[in-house]
């Protein structure tokens, strides 16, 4: 029986994602993810199945508030404890519950019609996963737009955190040559699973209505700044929204990797290219930690309610999307 447990704390250090032809195990040092009832990891092992000896390796840079950011003459900022409390609210939220439902349905996909069941799901996921890139860019923009309003160093440190996950989506990591984009990795995963190119699915499929709806909601909320007029309040909303995206994505990709591996062992029995899911399953905890630190560098104490509202807004709409993905698989 699958058990999808929740986490209450995330932190990260150096990550190494390895792969080779033989599908050998590679250690991932010091990715610390507390996930009650499942695992606390200081060394992970993953199996990689790509015909390449290239390693994706990056040094995660977490820029917490410095003495300059915490200067006494500046307004107070939200605390670590306040942000962790908001993250903990997501643990019991609608988004995590929808992910449980989705993964339960994925693990129950029937062997005799798995392709017909999963095609519409992948049509939606293809759009959905890419749609987070403009959402991340919009969050960056909202922080950048506080120029002349927010403190110079606070703004810069928040952006120094935020740029890393967005750059990683395009294969850019610290101290590494540019590697495959995450869109390329998703296409590789699809090809190994279905046996034909992702472009064929997109050409044959209708518009991904659920993913398009979530995308429109994300951009409406982020660019609208949660309905606030003040640039710093709009940025605080965007930072809360970004943190909710990254925090929930850790559950999303970790559980999805587990569920697809279960499906492959039970039904498909294929040589799957797991790198897309592995990179995200190992990396989303770091991205959540980066989003956490971006918040700590610039969001004023009095904007804690704005953070909560932003996180709740994404949790609500994210849950609708994944409940719809579960519906596409249930009843077959």
pLDDT digits 0-9 by tens, 84-116: 999 999 999 999 999 999 999 999 999 999 999
User: Over the chain, what is the mean pLDDT?
Assistant: 85
State residue 287's pLDDT score: 79
307 has a pLDDT exceeding 70: yes
State residue 14's pLDDT score: 33
Residues 6+ apart with CB under 8 A from 269: none
| Average confidence (pLDDT) over 203-220 | 98
User: What string of DSSP letters covers 198-267?
Assistant: HHHHHHHS---HHHHHHHHHHHHHHHTGGG--SHHHHHHHHHHHHHHHHHHHHHHHHHHHHHHHHHIIII
221 has a pLDDT exceeding 50: yes
Would you place residue 4 in the very low, low, confident or very high pLDDT band (cuts 50, 70, 90)?
low
198 has a pLDDT exceeding 80: yes
Q: pLDDT tens across 246-264, in order?
A: 999 999 999 999 999 999 9
Q: pLDDT tens across 155-171, in order?
A: 999 999 999 999 989 98
State residue 115's pLDDT score: 98
Q: What angle is formed at CA 107 by the lines to CA 186 and CA 165, rounded to 5 degrees?
A: 35
The pLDDT > 90 percentage for the chain reads 71
Tokens of 70: 């915490």
State residue 323's pLDDT score: 98
State residue 332's pLDDT score: 75
State residue 61's pLDDT score: 82
CB 300 within 8 Å of CB 236: yes
Tokens of 314: 């994404």
State residue 30's pLDDT score: 28
Q: Which residue has the higher pLDDT, 9 or 240?
A: 240
Q: pLDDT tens across 274-294, in order?
A: 999 998 887 767 878 889 999
State residue 40's pLDDT score: 29
Q: pLDDT tens across 27-84, in order?
A: 323 223 333 333 322 223 222 232 233 444 556 688 889 889 989 999 999 999 999 9
Give the relative orientation of helices 231-263 and 275-298 as an angle to the nearest 10 degrees: 160
Nearest in space to 157 (alpha carbons), one of 255, 267, 77: 77
9 has a pLDDT exceeding 80: no
Q: pLDDT tens across 309-318, in order?
A: 999 999 999 9
12 has a pLDDT exceeding 50: no
Q: How far is CA 76 from the centre of its chain?
A: 29
DSSP reduced 3-state for 120: helix
Would you place residue 331 in the very low, low, confident or very high pLDDT band (cuts 50, 70, 90)?
confident
Kind plus residue range of the DSSP H or E element containing 274: none
Q: Which residue has the higher pLDDT, 122 or 5?
A: 122
Lowest mean pLDDT among 29-33, 121-125, 175-179, 249-253: 29-33
């Amino acid at each position: 029986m699958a058990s999808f447990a929740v986490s209450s704390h995330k932190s990260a250090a150096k990550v190494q994602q390895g792969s080779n032809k033989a599908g050998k195990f590679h250690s991932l040092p010091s990715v610390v993810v507390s996930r009650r009832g499942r695992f606390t990891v200081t060394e992970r092992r993953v199996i990689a199945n790509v015909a390449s000896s290239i390693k994706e390796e990056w040094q995660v840079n977490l820029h917490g508030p410095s003495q300059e950011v915490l200067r006494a003459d500046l307004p107070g900022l939200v605390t670590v404890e306040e942000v962790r409390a908001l993250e903990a609210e997501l643990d019991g939220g609608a988004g995590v519950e929808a992910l449980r439902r989705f993964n339960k349905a994925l693990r129950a996909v029937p062997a005799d019609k798995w392709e017909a069941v999963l095609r519409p799901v992948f049509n939606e996921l293809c759009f959905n996963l890419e749609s987070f890139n403009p959402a991340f860019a919009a969050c960056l923009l909202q922080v950048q737009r506080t120029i002349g309003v927010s403190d110079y160093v606070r703004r810069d440190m928040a952006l120094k955190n935020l740029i890393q996950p967005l750059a990683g989506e395009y294969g850019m990591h610290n101290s590494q040559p540019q590697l495959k984009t995450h869109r390329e990795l998703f296409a590789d995963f699809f090809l190994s699973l279905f046996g034909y190119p992702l472009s064929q699915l997109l050409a044959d499929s209708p518009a991904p209505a659920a993913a398009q709806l979530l995308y429109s909601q994300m951009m409406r909320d982020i660019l609208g700044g949660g309905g606030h007029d003040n640039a710093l309040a709009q940025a605080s909303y965007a930072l809360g929204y970004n943190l909710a995206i990254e925090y929930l994505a850790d559950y999303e990709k970790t559980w999805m990797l587990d569920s697809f591996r279960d499906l492959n062992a039970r039904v498909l029995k294929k040589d799957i290219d797991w790198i897309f899911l592995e990179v995200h399953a190992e990396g989303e905890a770091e991205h959540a930690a980066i989003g956490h630190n971006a918040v700590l560098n610039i969001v004023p104490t009095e904007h804690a309610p704005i953070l909560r509202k932003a996180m709740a807004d994404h949790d609500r709409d994210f849950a609708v999307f994944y409940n719809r993905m579960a519906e596409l698989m249930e009843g077959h």
